[in-house]
Amino acid sequence: MNWVPEVASNLASKVDAVIWFITVISLVFFILISIFLVYFAIRYRRRQENEETPYITGSHVLETIWTIIPSILLIVIFVYGFVVYKDMRTPPEDSLEVTVIGRQWLWQFKYNNGKTTLNELYIPEGRPIKLVMTSEDVLHSFFVPAFRVKQDLVGGMYTYLWFTPTKTGTYELYCTEYCGTGHSTMLGKVIVMSPQEYEKWEKGEEEKAVASLPPAELGKQLYTQRGCNACHSIDGSSLVGPTWKGLYGHEVVLQDGTKVTADENYIREAILEPQAKMVKGFGPVMPSFKGVISDDEISDLIAYIKTLK
Q: Which residues bind ligand CUA (CB under 6 A)?
A: 102, 105, 140, 175, 177-179, 183, 186
Kindly state the smallest distance separating residue 119's Cβ from ligand CUA, in Å.
Answer: 12
Question: By C-beta, is 66 or 178 nearer to ligand CUA?
Answer: 178
Question: By C-beta, is 128 or 180 nearer to ligand CUA?
Answer: 180
How many angstroms separate the CA atoms of 309 and 302, rounded?
Answer: 12
Kindly state the smallest distance separating residue 61's Cβ from ligand CUA, in Å.
Answer: 54
Residue 163's DSSP bridge partners are: 129
Q: What is the DSSP letter of 279?
A: B
Question: By C-beta, is 39 or 178 nearer to ligand CUA?
Answer: 178
Residue 100 burial class via C-beta count within 10 angstroms: exposed 0-12, middle 13-18, buried 19 and up: buried
Three-state secondary structure call for residue 40 = helix
Kindly state the smallest distance separating residue 108's Cβ from ligand CUA, in Å.
Answer: 12
Chain centroid offset of residue 228 CA: 17
Q: Which of 173, 162, 195, 174 is nearest to 121 (CA)?
A: 173
Chain centroid offset of residue 226 CA: 15
Kindly state the smallest distance separating residue 178's Cβ from ligand CUA, in Å.
Answer: 6
166, 168, 169, 175: CA torsion to nearest 10? 40
Question: By C-beta, is 103 or 220 nearer to ligand CUA?
Answer: 103
Question: By C-beta, is 106 or 267 nearer to ligand CUA?
Answer: 106
How many CA within 13 A on the CB side of residue 138?
14
Question: By C-beta, is 143 or 266 nearer to ligand CUA?
Answer: 143
Beta-strand pair 159-163/129-135: antiparallel
Contact 102, 153 (CB under 8 A): yes
Kindly state the smallest distance separating residue 239's Cβ from ligand CUA, in Å.
Answer: 15
How many angstroms separate the CA atoms of 209 and 58, rounded?
Answer: 77
Kindly state the smallest distance separating residue 232's Cβ from ligand CUA, in Å.
Answer: 17
Question: By C-beta, is 88 or 100 nearer to ligand CUA?
Answer: 100
Contact 177, 155 (CB under 8 A): no
Query: How many other C-beta atoms can be found within 10 angstroms of the C-beta atom of residue 202?
Result: 16
Kindly state the smallest distance separating residue 277's Cβ from ligand CUA, in Å.
Answer: 27
Question: By C-beta, is 183 or 220 nearer to ligand CUA?
Answer: 183
